[in-house]
Amino acid sequence: MRNKFFALAIFSLISMPAFCEVATDKNSTSQTSQTLTNQEIDNLMAQNKLQNVDFEYLKSRLGDGTVKNSKIVLIDARPEKRFEQGHIPASINIPDTQIDKYIWQIKDKQKDTEIVTYCQGTTCEKSVFLAIELKKMGYTNVKVYRGGVPEWEQKSFLDIGTSEVSKLLNENKIVLIDARPFPKYKEETISGAISIPDTKLNELLGRLPKSTNEQIVIFCGGVECDKSFYEANKLYELGYKKVAIYSQGLPGYKNAKLPTTASCQKEAQKPQDTNNTKTVAGLKLGSEDGTVDVASFKDMLKNKPNNINIVDVRANDAFLKGHIKGAINIPMRGLTPAEFASKMPSTGYTVLTCATGTMALDAYLILRDNAKYKNIDKVFYLDAHVSCTGENCTIK
């Protein structure tokens, strides 16, 4: 049970004629509610030995911004609707009033895992209440980010949910940017999106709105894709302060059965002629230029021949957390095309991989179009979602 402060807070909230929510700006996600004074919240923090972390600390613990590469478990204690409207990247949502319903998300976490809770700023007690309950459940390393959404929104960008993206698109209130390579964009994208690949941003700045006050939302290939984070950071540095990401990306939009450029064409597409499928070193090639067949690749992994190299192009920390057995790591980001090409295996055939297929495609295009790699006919990429724990991988 929560302490007396919480009981008094709930009684006060029920007794009031209206909710204590105050919108700070019609177009902002910053909203707050308070049933305790700031001093009472401070007292709760002290009584329960909760540490308050600041913006810089939290940012340093979030890594590249994706949930998978975060060094902490970051929890938004606000209601799901507020979470959808905008939350700190890499967050999960456990409303303090519905803990039993949402706690499954951290059931497999060790009790000493670093957890940081937050809500709607210094005047919001939800993050403190949630932190207290988590400590009661046995979690020993729980902290609070009192600055919450308002402070984060002033200094960086938020992540918005699928329903909010759909709503803003329908109201014509956002510029929606697909940060994936252009071939991916042509294949399928969210209806209404424009293409500005993160690797071509400097060349395509003219596609951005002239006004830095326009609301921009950037997406890519799903929660494990960091392209939207990279591009959002760049736009923020250029002065676009109303930038958000949509980390669920195209997969999330499709799962919600919302319109994409391909959703009206799928039934009309002709089946691929599998009789003319080419093979290289016993590996079937995919229907798209430069790809390998996913099923054939998975079969090959059961007894990988020595003349097939698997190159994971993600950052080293992501590679170390999990990768395909037998893969080597050549991080693409930060290298010039020539430097990247020089690191490619000199013999055999090479299959480029990542977490979603998007960065692998980027690497293939850089080798083919920028580096003019002489052995490009022996390089392919895996267009699939790859999720690994150690060397135990799911590929689909």
* Cα-based distances in Å from 145 to 11, 75, 122, 393: 26, 10, 9, 34
Which residue range(s) make up the domain with 180? 158-260
Structural domain contains residue 271: no
What CA–CA distances, in Å, run from 392 to 108, 259, 321, 324? Answer: 18, 34, 11, 7
Segments in 178-248 forming alpha helices (H): 182-187, 227-237
Number of domains the chain contains: 3
Q: What's the start-to-end Cα distance of the chain, in Å?
A: 44
Tell me which of 228, 260, 292 is where a domain ends: 260
In a shared domain, residues 325 and 386: yes
Is residue 276 situated within a structural domain? no
Q: Residue 366 burial by CB count (10 A; 0-12/13-18/19+): exposed, middle or buried?
A: buried
Residues of the chain below pLDDT 70: 1-35, 264-276
Give residue 264's pLDDT: 55
Residues 98 and 10 both lie in one domain: yes
Q: Alpha-carbon distance 278 to 293, whole Å? A: 10
The 10s digit of each residue's pLDDT in 322-368 is 999 999 999 988 899 999 999 999 999 999 999 988 889 889 999 99
- Residue 377 in any domain: the answer is yes
Query: Distances in Å between the alpha carbon of 162 and those of 165, 187, 255?
Result: 5, 21, 10
Task: Tell whether 268 is covered by a domain.
Answer: no
pLDDT of residue 67: 84
Position 266 in a domain: no
28 phi-psi bin (left φ>0, alpha ψ -120 to 50, beta other): beta
Q: Are residues 16 and 142 in the same domain?
A: yes
Q: CA-CA distances (angstroms) from residue 325 to 82, 102, 189, 346?
A: 41, 34, 31, 20
pTM: 0.76
**Residue 384 CA, distance from chain mean position:** 17
User: What's 389's domain CATH number?
Assistant: 3.40.250.10
- The answer to the question of residue 272 being in a domain is no
Taking alpha carbons only, the member of 70, 5, 81, 85 closest to residue 38 is: 5
Residues 176 and 146 in one domain: no
Q: Is residue 269 part of a domain?
A: no
Look up residue 248 and give its DSSP letter: T
Q: Across-strand partners of 143? A: 51, 116
267 in a structural domain: no
What is the per-residue pLDDT for 5? 39
Q: Verify that 196 and 290 share a domain, yes or no.
A: no
